[in-house]
Amino acid sequence: MEVQYILWLNKKHLNELVKKKEVLSLVNDYFKVNPCRSEKIMRINMVNKFYELRNLHVHKASPNSVLGKAWKHYLIQWNSLVSK
């Protein structure tokens, strides 16, 4: 099982998410009730798609395959949010 680490600062407390389940819970529950008001919300909304693609192992697929192209398209979308 791969462990994902995400850190964020919340009211002077450093919190750490360790498991995929916790990350998805934060995205699906917390941010629905307390939406992010910045452009970061666009990336937050892409987290579910990231885990869907990772479960299909598209990141390991050949770049010319359908799955490889789906991963490339996702990365282009993700990276385009940084350059704005």
Residues in the chain: 84
Per-residue pLDDT reduced to its tens digit, 14-52:
455 567 787 888 888 888 888 888 878 888 888 889 989
Percent of the chain with pLDDT over 70: 75
Of 2-6, 36-40, 51-55, 79-83, least confident by mean pLDDT is 2-6
User: Quick one: which of 83, 74, 10 has its CA closest to 48?
Assistant: 74
Spans of all domains in the chain: 6-82
> With 50 as the cut, is the pLDDT of residue 9 above it?
no
Distances (CA, A) of 41 to 7, 34, 67: 16, 11, 26
The pLDDT score that the predictor gives to residue 7 is 47
Residues near 22 by Cβ (< 8 Å), separated by ≥ 6? none
